[in-house]
Amino acid sequence: MRSIVLTKGVPDFSEGAVSFDEDGHLERGKTPTVMNPNDEFALRAALQTTVRHGGHVSGMSMGPPGYADVLQGAMETVYTDDSYLLSDRELAASDTWATAITLSAGLEKYREEVAEIDVVFAGFKTADGETGQTGPQTCWAMDWPIVTHVIALDIDPDERTLRAKRLVEGDVDEIETVEAPLPCFVVTDPEFEPTYRKASHRLTHKELRAETEERAAEHDDHLTTWDHTDLNLDPDYIGLDGSPTIVSSVDPIPKAPSEREATMLEPDDGLDEVLGEMQPYAAGAGD
């Protein structure tokens, strides 16, 4: 099976890592970039597919040169055989639509010059934009079937079909089973859990994980970079010029106050009364 995993770099939103300017705009240059957390589930699904059926997994991302580190992280932390970075200045400031156009061009070039693709995996949504649009829009540009909110899957290579369990929209308690012909897109849900029931699968998983960690140490040897000319893309339809979305403003997430009001109590300040009020809750008897 030949799989592609689409991944993206996002700001590290851990406490103290995000930097905003005086106008409240995110300063990406001063904020560390990490792999989008939801993309890890897509990588796990691709690895599961490779463990069960054999094959090849390529990571693909569109972004600045620094996104090579994101692709390297994907290779090291989960699994990929190689990486493809779509990058140059003409692609800067792309919205999800322009990104999808670029990614679809990258997928078509991959099919023409590298190999046919069986499944493209994408994460649910990114930690910065949270639109959940790039995967489905890229699929639309490819005119392939898509299965979203996938929590479990398997593939029948002989029948060229994918069978998946997915969460029904709007109701995480309801699960449906669907089938799709290959090639197709799969958008994994954060509830996705890979399964390796056979001992042979668990052994293969261990071997592949060791191989990918070793390969990641020499990531540059496994990285291919394509710019917009390589992809035969018109600058009018990519980057900022090709992005119909207009962002009016970005509001930073408010930080919790560093200091909170507190009342200091001494042993003689009526602690018995306070403890008496709290005891039912500590015992689980409160509302």
Give the CB-side neighbour count of residue 60, counting CA atoms within 13 A.
Answer: 28
Residues 204-248: tens digit of each pLDDT: 999 999 999 999 999 999 999 999 999 999 999 898 888 888 766
Q: Are 105 and 231 in contact (CB under 8 A)?
A: yes
Q: Count CB-CB contacts under 10 A for residue 13.
A: 15
Dihedral-angle region of residue 209 (phi above 0 means left; psi in -120 to 50 means alpha; beta otherwise): alpha
Q: What is the pLDDT of residue 257?
A: 62
Residues 107-123: tens digit of each pLDDT: 999 999 999 999 999 99
Give the chain's domains with CATH numbers. 2-237 (3.40.50.620)
Residue among 97, 128, 124 at smallest CA distance from 18? 128
Residue among 174, 92, 94 at smallest CA distance from 129? 94
The answer, yes or no, to whether residue 192 has pLDDT greater than 90, is yes
Q: What is the pLDDT of residue 3?
A: 98
Q: What is the pLDDT of residue 131?
A: 82
Pairing of strands 119-122, 146-156: unpaired
Pairing of strands 56-62, 171-181: unpaired
Q: What is the pLDDT of residue 19?
A: 64
The answer, yes or no, to whether residue 286 has pLDDT greater than 80, is no
Q: What is the pLDDT of residue 32?
A: 79
> Taking all residues of the chain, what is their mean pLDDT, rounded to a whole number?
87
Q: What percent of the chain has pLDDT over 70?
A: 80
| pLDDT band, very low/low/confident/very high, at 126 (cuts 50, 70, 90) | confident
Residues 42-60: tens digit of each pLDDT: 999 999 999 999 999 999 9
